[in-house]
Amino acid sequence: MTKPLHISFYTLGCKLNQAETAALGNEAEKNGYTIVPFEEPADVTVINSCTLTNRADRKTRQALYQAKRLSPDGILVLAGCFPQINPGKSAEIEGVDIVLGTRDKFDLFAAIDDFRREGLQEVRVSPVNNRDRIASSFIAATDRTRAFLKIQEGCSNFCTYCIVPYARGNPVSREFGNTVSEAKRLAAAGYKEIVLSGIDIGAYQDQGKRLIDVARALETIDGLERIRISSIEMNTLSDELIRHAAASEKIMPHFHLSLQSGSDTILKAMNRKYLTADFTQKMETIRKYIPDASIGTDVIVGFPGENDALFREALDYISDMEFSYLHVFRFSARHGTPAATLPKQVPEAGRKARAAILEDTDRNLRQTYASRFFGTAQPVLWERCEEGLCYGLTPHYLHVSAPGEPAWRNTISTLVLQADHLPSENG
């Protein structure tokens, strides 16, 4: 039996999952595979799963069934958070040949070789104690323009609704020197932007080095034009880092702070580590030093106990804060989390109705924020070009398009921003 030539990937969930899939894709090419779109038949199909919500679970199963229909004779791999939490259920899903947990997914190619040799289902789901430091080479990128650099793994916040600490384990940080050397390799390979990624990147710490030290070190790398910080907890974003970002020519004026609710009552029930007054103060600090900063957030609606009055309180707070964009999630009861057993669960119809209201708010916020920049010259990193249009990203995380040529890709040029440069829903 010859080695499979074609491999496809399907990713659900967070940006870290996306980064890890990209890294696996790079390793696949090194191992002689050709990556094909998920919609095409493949010798190996990898579903990098999420289990944050019931909807994510359904999407994982749907992707598995679709992959099996497309490639009935191919090897089907289920990897990531779903099997980490549900190893038994994962192994029982019809057609799944290889099951890999969150840390085991990086044994993908050894598992494929073992399966092909022995013909028996491979199940590798190791405990997520995270005693081992992140030290291996980890290059993840999109079309050699933006690279996601994983510097941290795990979380110990244990919010009452969240399955992530159980799926990803306790916090562990990548060794500082290894992080910097990897960033240098990325820049040398031609990447213009690095996105610092992790589950709780504000908790980064290695031998006294913190997130701000990582940022400072990366700023000195020749060829690296942009540094972007992925989602970060409000209480781990230091004022020192905000002030440094304001003075930096390379750190992008974009922060994604996870709020989750604009109601103090709900924040306490969620076991978040702040109240709205603390969140407001952090946003005021950002805007003091970086007035036009893009500040996006995550919001969960329909958490147990959230009645109409508490939802209205949260909605008013979100509107007052004038975020640049929202990521809206309906509460999903995850087995094994405290919130799953709380009283006063909100019916699905109520969650959907509230989510729809926040999604309307999101559209208005995006439009209002983007309009600030109309008529201004914005540097755009062009990521791809097709059919006469090029698509790129401004420093403030506005996705734009303009007529252009393939030679624009992976270059930065100035665009005088107009409304027609923006998609209908930006961000």
Please state, in angstroms and rounded to a whole number, the distance separating the CA atoms of residues 143 and 356: 34
To the nearest 10°, report the CA torsion of 192, 197, 203, 205: -60
Amino acid at 342: L
Q: At residue 41, what are phi and psi to the nearest 5 degrees?
A: -60, 145
Q: How far is CA 61 from CA 7, 96, 197, in A?
A: 19, 11, 26
Q: pLDDT tens digit string along 106-129?
A: 899 999 999 999 989 999 998 876
Q: Which residues lie below 8 Å from residue 160, measured CB to CB, with a gap of 6+?
A: 269, 270, 271, 337, 338, 339, 342
Amino acid at 113: D
Q: What is the sign, positive or negative, of the torsion defined by CA atoms of 373, 377, 380, 386?
A: positive
Q: Does residue 306 contact residue 266 with C-beta atoms inside 8 Å?
A: yes
Tell me which H or E stretch contains 78. Answer: strand 75-80
* pLDDT at position 296: 97
Tell me which H or E stretch contains 118. Answer: helix 108-118
Closest by Cα among 165, 214, 195 to 255: 195
* pLDDT at position 5: 81
As a residue count, the chain comes to 427
Q: pLDDT tens digit string along 388-427?
A: 999 999 999 999 999 999 999 999 999 999 999 998 655 4
* pLDDT at position 263: 98
To the nearest 10°, report the CA torsion of 293, 294, 295, 298: -170
- Take residue 63 and report the two structure tokens written for it: 């992707």
Please state, in angstroms and rounded to a whole number, the distance separating the CA atoms of residues 332 and 316: 23
Nearest 5°: the CA angle 68, 72, 77 is: 50
Q: Does residue 133 contact residue 172 with C-beta atoms inside 8 Å?
A: yes
Please write down the HEC assignment for all residues of 124-144.
ECCCCCCCCCCCCCCCEEECC
Residues of the chain where predicted confidence (pLDDT) is lower than 70 = 1-4, 129-144, 424-427
Please state, in angstroms and rounded to a whole number, the distance separating the CA atoms of residues 47 and 63: 7
Q: Does residue 42 contact residue 10 with C-beta atoms inside 8 Å?
A: no
- Take residue 408 and report the two structure tokens written for it: 């624009």
Q: Which residues lie below 8 Å from residue 51, measured CB to CB, with a gap of 6+?
A: 57, 60, 81, 82, 84, 85, 86, 163, 167, 334
* pLDDT at position 138: 47
Question: Which DSSP string corresponds to 7-29?
Answer: EEEEE-S-HHHHHHHHHHHHHHH
pTM score of the predicted model: 0.85
Nearest 5°: the CA angle 133, 138, 140 is: 140
